[in-house]
Amino acid sequence: MNTPTFNTIVGILEKDFRMSRADIHPESALGELGLDSLALMEFVFAVEDSFRLRIPEDRLDPREAGITLQRLCEVIDSMQLQTA
């Protein structure tokens, strides 16, 4: 996956959470990123700030381990289309 949304998310993980690009994949579940619950919430807030949107909890619960980075990208892209 090489979309602007995914690349922005990868940048956040690299810069703010010191993750290696080689360890970040679209199919990676949020729970598999090695972030504790506080860091996971900080990640979601950083993503929201970067895209200037707020993700409603019913669209994406960051504590749900099965949600992947690809799903996060889909939610963001969908929300951006709705506001365009």
> How many Å apart are CA 19 and CA 56, to the nearest integer?
26
pLDDT band at 56 (very low <50, low <70, confident <90, very high): confident
In residues, how long is the chain?
84
Q: Does domain 4-83 have CATH number 2.40.128.20?
A: no
Instruction: Work out the average pLDDT over 7-25.
Output: 96
- Helix, strand or coil, per DSSP, at residue 29: strand
pTM as predicted? 0.85
Q: Is the pLDDT of residue 8 over 60?
A: yes
Structure token pair of residue 12: 């956040």
pLDDT band at 60 (very low <50, low <70, confident <90, very high): low
Average pLDDT, the chain: 88
Long-range own/partner contacts, residues 31-39 (CB < 8 A, 24 or more apart): 31/64, 31/65, 31/66, 31/67, 32/65, 37/63
